[in-house]
Amino acid sequence: MAIAPTLQRYLDQHVTYAVIPHESTMSSIRTAEACRISGECLAKGVLLRGNNGYMLAVLPASHHIRLSDLRTQLGEEVDLATEAEIDTVFRDCVHGAVPPVGDCYGLDTIVDDSIDGQPDVYLEAGDHATLIHLRHDQFEKLTADARHGRFSVHV
C-alpha cells in the first residue's frame, strides 16, 4: 500500500521527508528493530476517545501511554479507542497502522515531550512496511498546533 493517501497529500504540502520501505512488521517497536533505529525516535500514534470526540496521542515507540497522566493534563476523561473506531477514523490505512499526524485526519493532537529531543523523527506511514523520515524541525512543523506534555513511560 505504501503511504496512506491522506497522509501523503498532507506531508507533500507541509514538509520535506524521505520514504523508507522495510519488511512488514506488526508493531512500531518491531518496525524500529527492523529499520535499526531507536524506538525513541519512532513516533507512534494512539487514537483516544474523549468527551469531545477523538484525539491522537503521539509518543515514542519505546514508550507506553499513561492514561492517568493524560487525563490529568487534558482535564477530561479519555480512553483508548477500539479497533473498529481506529479503522473508521483511519480509513485509508492498513488495520493497526496509525500515522502520528492528527491534523491531516482532523484530530486534535497531544505530543509526548520525550520525542522533542530527537534530531530525526520517523513516522508510521499508514501501512506496516513504510516509514517516513523527518528532521526534527520538519516534525515540529507537523505538530506546531499540538498540545505537548508528559504522559508516557519508557518500557
pLDDT tens track for 27-83? 888 888 888 999 999 999 999 999 889 999 999 999 999 999 999 999 999 999 999
Angle at the Cα of 25 from the Cα atoms of 66 and 56, rounded to 5 degrees? 35
Label residue 87 exposed, middle or buried (CB < 10 Å: 0-12, 13-18, 19+).
middle
| CA dist list (Å): 125 to 28, 58, 60, 78, 105 | 11, 14, 15, 25, 13
The CA radius of gyration of the chain, in Å to the nearest whole number, is 14
pLDDT over 70, % of the chain:
99
**Domains detected in the chain:** 5-154 (3.90.960.10)
DSSP state letter for 53: E
pLDDT at 23: 85
Dihedral pair phi/psi, residue 22, rounded to 5°: -150, 170
Residue type, 66: R
Distance CA 85, CA 49 (A): 9
Task: Return the residue matching grid coordinates 487534558.
Answer: 74
Question: Which DSSP state fits 62?
Answer: T
User: Does 1 have pLDDT greater than 60?
Assistant: no
Q: Which amino acid is at 74?
A: L
Model's pTM, two decimal places? 0.93
Cell 477523538: give the residue.
54
